[in-house]
Amino acid sequence: MGRVDLAGVAHLELARGVRHLHPEEATFEAMLRGWRAQQQARMLREKTIADRAQVIRRFASFTNDYPWHWQPAHLEEWVTTLVGERRLAHATVRVYQVALRLFTEYLADARYGWAAECQARFGTHPVPICHEWNTVAHSSDYEGRPGRRPFTREELQGLFDYADAQVEVAQTRKRKGALAAYRDATVFKVLYAWGLRRREVVMLDTVDFGRNPAAPQFGRFGLLSVRYGKAVGGQPPRRRSVASVKGWAVEAVADYVANIRPRFGLADHPALWVTERGGRLQAADLAARFDVYRAALGLPPELGLHCLRHAYVTHLVEFGYPERFVQQQVGHAYASTTAGYTSVSNDFKNQVLARALARVYGQGTGRELR
């Protein structure tokens, strides 16, 4: 049997017997095509492949040189610019470095033949430029901004009350938008009560709720199937099932499905959250509505939609749910990620402390409070 070439090998991408006016540029473009083929063979998403290629082009523009001349020092200079001048976040810089590491390791891999081709054509060859000592360390799974925090219970209640009030305002003034206001009020509650990300919530369909034998009291809303979870490493979206734990939120969704969504007149549309124009609610529109409510309530700007998810994790921990259960509910691969979302309240910490001291010193002695 003949040898089977790997996707992305140099000789499949380089035109033989052709004299290029700019051989360096032609080789660089062939490298990108080959890397694209290699990633497609690994079934990575097209957007991931395109985003990585854009990073490579940006780096090439920064160095004003071609990959077979790149050195670790070029990476260090670029990172200094990204952090010092552009002030990019820690996680963003690491994403860029991952793309460069994968590309340069692909070029240096002898199985793909790029090193030999470059040596023959240009007298040098590409080398890996990303190493442990010159890249951003993945010190923790949660790298959110320090200012981001969970909603307090008072803030949550204020948000939900205000969102509900907007429905009454629209109805009283006989304005258009009452259905949309009711829908958005319910979406905010679902974001919190099932710990969802904004894309996860807007991509829900009506069929994604189902029964949970372990919680029959919630009827057909006992279990939520999340089909568009956060993708990792260019793979397709991850799926997970989220058990319903908050009865008041189940009642809110059930009321929306039974009494509000049918009034949009879109019985054949699969989306759970539909618009008056006949489409699916978009994450950007939901965020815009949230920004208006947040401003009206005078809440700090660092409280974003994602902080509802933080609050969900925090409150489950405070209610005593096992850490593993919370981790699976929100779809975190690592417990350390879930821990980074948690910021228990002072009242909860005081209760835990009081119980711990009571166990040590005994109940009813009063010593635990001194």
Q: Which among 180, 170, 188, 175 has a CA at the least distance from the CA of 278?
A: 180
Q: Which among 48, 34, 36, 21 has a CA at the least distance from the CA of 115?
A: 34
How is residue 196 written in tokens? 């969802």
Distances (CA, A) of 344 to 156, 180, 185, 329, 333: 15, 33, 25, 18, 21
The ranges assigned to domains in the chain are 10-134, 153-355
pTM exceeding the 0.95 threshold for the entire prediction: no
Confidence (pLDDT) at 143: 44
Q: How many helices (H) and strands (E) does the chain have?
A: 15, 3
- Give per-residue pLDDT as tens, 120-173: 999 999 999 998 777 875 444 344 455 568 898 999 999 999 999 999 888 887
DSSP 8-state symbol, 185? H
Confidence (pLDDT) at 350: 57
- Give per-residue pLDDT as tens, 176-227: 789 999 999 999 999 999 999 999 999 999 999 999 999 999 999 999 999 9
What's the CATH fold of domain 153-355?
Answer: hpI Integrase; Chain A (1.10.443)
Collapsing DSSP to helix, strand or coil, 223 comes out as strand
Confidence (pLDDT) at 339: 64
Q: At what angle do helices 247-255 and 178-193 cross, to 10 degrees?
A: 150
- Stated as kind and residue range, the H or E segment containing 313 is helix 306-318
pLDDT at 366 over 50: no
Q: Mean pLDDT, to the nearest integer, of 359-365?
A: 53
Q: At what angle do helices 306-318 and 323-330 cross, to 10 degrees?
A: 160
d(CA 53, CA 39): 11
d(CA 231, CA 219): 30
Confidence (pLDDT) at 367: 35
Per-residue pLDDT band at 369 (split at 50, 70, 90):
very low
- Give per-residue pLDDT as tens, 337-346: 666 665 555 5
Alpha carbon 223 to chain centroid, angstroms: 22
